[in-house]
Amino acid sequence: MSRLFFWIIGGLVLGGVIHLIVILTLPNAATHDIWNRLEEAAPLETLVVLEDLAPGEPNPLGLDPELLYAVCRLELEDGPGIVNGQLPLAFWSVAVFNRQGHVIYSTTNRSGSGALLDMGLFNPAQTRLLAEQRFEIDEGLLIVEAGGNDAAVVVRLAPPHPAMRERYREALAALDCGTIR
């Protein structure tokens, strides 16, 4: 009886260890995660306005078809990133994602910035240099620490009427996205 109990406990412990190993290594082995999807859709330092989503069509990213989306991927190893420009006075939001797909910063135009989006993205080393005042930055620049060298910025814009979608799409496409070298 005690031998059977030992085998059961050993099997449960071994199963738990295997389960933990699989759970902890699987996300790093995934090749079709959100970051890889963004690499396919948006080249580095290029702002890409995503195509409209029609209701009922496949929506693998789970995007709201009423909103317009622009994506910019940045590599911060060689210098800080910037995303800036004028947006319409309708509701817009911006979110910064890390390589793991986690939101590390998010804001909207209702936070006091109005129609101007002026954001600088810095890795931790660049943030230290910024704190030591070794970088010249413009007043009013929204400073975001990315936590690493890879970041993706997603800008969402909500046109108040379908007839305004194309004009709002053009406003998104006019945003600047790149790194400062």
pLDDT bin (cut points 50, 70, 90) of residue 10 is: confident
In the predicted structure, residue 112 carries a pLDDT above the cut 80: no
Q: So what's the architecture of 34-179 in CATH?
A: Sandwich (2.60)
The mean predicted confidence, pLDDT, of the chain is 86
Q: What percent of the chain has pLDDT over 90?
A: 39
In this predicted structure, what is the pLDDT of residue 99?
Answer: 86
Distance CA 181, CA 170 (A): 27
Q: What percent of the chain has pLDDT over 70?
A: 92
Residue with the larger pLDDT of the pair 22 and 49: 49
Q: Quick one: average pLDDT of 130-154?
A: 84
pLDDT bin (cut points 50, 70, 90) of residue 163 is: very high
Whole-model pTM above 0.75?
Answer: yes
In this predicted structure, what is the pLDDT of residue 111?
Answer: 76
Q: Quick one: average pLDDT of 57-80?
A: 88
In the predicted structure, residue 72 carries a pLDDT above the cut 90: yes
DSSP letters for 58-125: --TT---TTSEEEEEEEE-SSS-EEEEEE--SS-EEEEEE-TTS-EEEEEEGGGTTTTEEEEEEE-HH
Q: Quick one: average pLDDT of 110-131?
A: 85
In the predicted structure, residue 64 carries a pLDDT above the cut 90: no
Q: Quick one: average pLDDT of 40-58?
A: 83
Residue with the larger pLDDT of the pair 48 and 134: 48
Distance CA 35, CA 67 (A): 21
In this predicted structure, what is the pLDDT of residue 28?
Answer: 64
